[in-house]
Structure 1
């Protein structure tokens, strides 16, 4: 199977902006990579940590967080791939108890992440992450976990940090990230800023920033949600305006972000399933909570200062539940209609992440005295942190589907 083709930076249809981080007067701090390269011998061994076996039929997506003295897998000193905004240790988060938890499914144990085993599974293959900055958060977690065994080479052909390609030479494994916050074609209306402006969403047109490069991928990890909360105009059927979300324009029907996200996932998944030459695996990761801000909205003083998971099981509710249902339903429809040879899998991580309001950077993604304007970040996840469970789930899914 051919290797992933690298993104052409001229094909980008969206600006590289963070969901909740508005930096005034400065460039984006910190590259995808750190400023140093730890001495990690390529192919070095690690302790086998997959002695536990998930019984057939056990739902790894329903369970609870339990104390774990063996966590975390890595620190900001051992992994050079942590982006500044998620480097909570570097920027002085005083409580590190949020690191000492693991996800335990009901009725079984989820094996610890085994970097050597993961690289064995994906050897001679390619994997692409597609979505917003949370997709990047996911990928960077994976790179940190894999750094126990091998340190990848950056073989990107663009300086755009939102489009990176890494290569694990010892395992012939290619790992890429493609930024597409809406999964479909989108652009800002005139005189708008990315955080508060009005977006034009072409809900039946997949984004050219990623789709043309997927034919040769063995695995596609696709996710999106948070950007659909932005005020948007919805276009379908060849560019016809069909409605909007929070646009306040006369004669334009008010629809919902559930409508737009459902349509975008339908378009993206059908496009992959029908992509000529694609015979790989699509993993749809469900959304992470939009509900962890307390004391205000994200741009009105909201914050997330909790220091431990919710003690009681908090169910998925409200907007999170509506969006989750839309994603799951569109996944099911796409799976049923997928062409022969295309495998679709659902990483239903929402219930686990709803319970972790303590795992976000909050104010600990920058120095307190920096000359920047930054909102408290209750969207992304600290690295290391709860987000590492996504890759424990991913490894289990790849092994179960092998």
Structure 2
């Protein structure tokens, strides 16, 4: 009898331990189940550790330059696949480029696809691009035309990203679009001359008085160091007059230079920075050719005296059309300097294909000095039409499709 009582008491003493064990196991099960959900507190606090997916670039996605020059071709009508995004679903476009929102009545300019001769550009895949950019930075460097290319690039990827996992920060002279899930960023850096100048303030830059420091680049360069993909552009700010005030050597020795001479000196300064700073094993550099202007309609419509305003279709039937706004001398300088580099820089020659797009500029549906044109200004398109900047969606999307093709081309599949 005493032995039975002792045994009962022994069993009762084990109840708290058993209950505690059940509670611990139950809690652990709840935690592990919760970790499977994106809404769990633990996930929100620490984030989910995802295994990076291998990016497979198929042979069909790689441009074979020995067989096809993607910069030679024609514009074809395609209102099924284009535009790649809309003004409404991309909140990162500045007013300068949102032509339809600003009152442009036609939308044909959005529906043209660039078709290279003898091949196709790889279809843009935002997810594949983001996987290539995982853990990396891509930066566009240049003027407001280059800023449009940056905005286009952001718009082409942002729609697949969930809210709260992306952000746009303005840190003058940079804009930084962060993609948290991929630990990546797409950035823009304002440097209209690439080298330093008195126009380097991101928003308050002088237009009429220009002074360029042809041998100075360090202030800009420190922001470019270590960036995985750099995309440079510099042209239209050089073209205000045939000459430009600049320094070379002593900072107080201001002289008037022929623009082409100054451009070569500036590009040599940039080239020296590339050769002494870029690590070709971990960094890729691209240089965009000049973005053309369409200021004089007589160049594509003889005997006329207008500009790009009211143009609704690309130039067709003239495969070698080249407007006077695009300097062949500057083009030769770019190719000469790039050809002499010891570090590989990919030249993206978008000038000729963009020359055909007289229809795609912002004209009177953009901004002037930071403000939309007034009714009175819009009534005088010959004076106020902007035939330099491009509407978005539009031509810069094609530049980025080509950039995407070269990113695919340089990407190494993991085996």
Query: TM-score higher than 0.5 here?
Result: yes
Does 1:304 pair with 2:309?
A: yes
Give the CA deviation at 1:376: 1.9
1:165-184 alignment to 2 at 5 Å? 165-184=176-195
Answer 1 or 2: higher relative contact order, Cα 8 Å, separation at least 6: 1
Does 1:147 pair with 2:154?
A: no
Q: Deviations 1:238-262 (Å, cap 9, x if unpaired)?
A: 3374742xxxxxxxxxx43222222
CA–CA distance in 1 between the matches of 2:236 and 2:373? Answer: 26
Closer/same/farther in 2, CA of residues 368 and 267 from structure 1, 3 Å limit: closer
Question: Is residue 71–residue 349 contact of structure 2 (8 Å, CA) maintained in 1?
Answer: yes
1:47-86 alignment to 2 at 5 Å? 54-57=63-66, 58-69=68-79, 70-86=81-97
Match of 2:355 in 1: 354
Question: Is residue 198–residue 205 contact of structure 2 (8 Å, CA) maintained in 1?
Answer: no
CA–CA distance in 2 between the matches of 1:277 and 1:326? Answer: 24
Match of 1:237 in 2: 249
Q: Deviations 1:248-290 (Å, cap 9, x if unpaired)?
A: xxxxxxx432222222222113212211767411100111113
Does 1:156 pair with 2:169?
A: yes
Match of 2:395 in 1: 386
CA–CA distance in 1 between the matches of 2:224 and 2:207? Answer: 29
Question: What's the TM-score, normalizing by structure 1?
Answer: 0.74
Closer/same/farther in 2, CA of residues 184 and 68 from structure 1, 3 Å limit: same
Does 1:219 pair with 2:220?
A: no
Q: Which 5+ residue runs of structure 2 have no aligned equivalent?
A: 1-49, 51-57, 300-304
Give the CA deviation at 1:155: 6.1
Match of 2:53 in 1: none
Question: Is residue 294–residue 307 contact of structure 2 (8 Å, CA) maintained in 1?
Answer: no
Q: Deviations 1:344-400 (Å, cap 9, x if unpaired)?
A: 211111111111111111011266646989932211111101110011101110111
Match of 2:340 in 1: 333
Q: What is the count of residue pairs matched by the alignment?
A: 330
Give the CA deviation at 1:193: 8.3
Match of 2:405 in 1: 396
Structure index of larger Rg: 2
Q: Deviations 1:22-62 (Å, cap 9, x if unpaired)?
A: xxxxxxxxxxxxxxxxxxxxx9xxxxxx9666445211111
Q: Which 5+ residue runs of structure 1 have no aligned equivalent?
A: 1-42, 44-49, 245-254
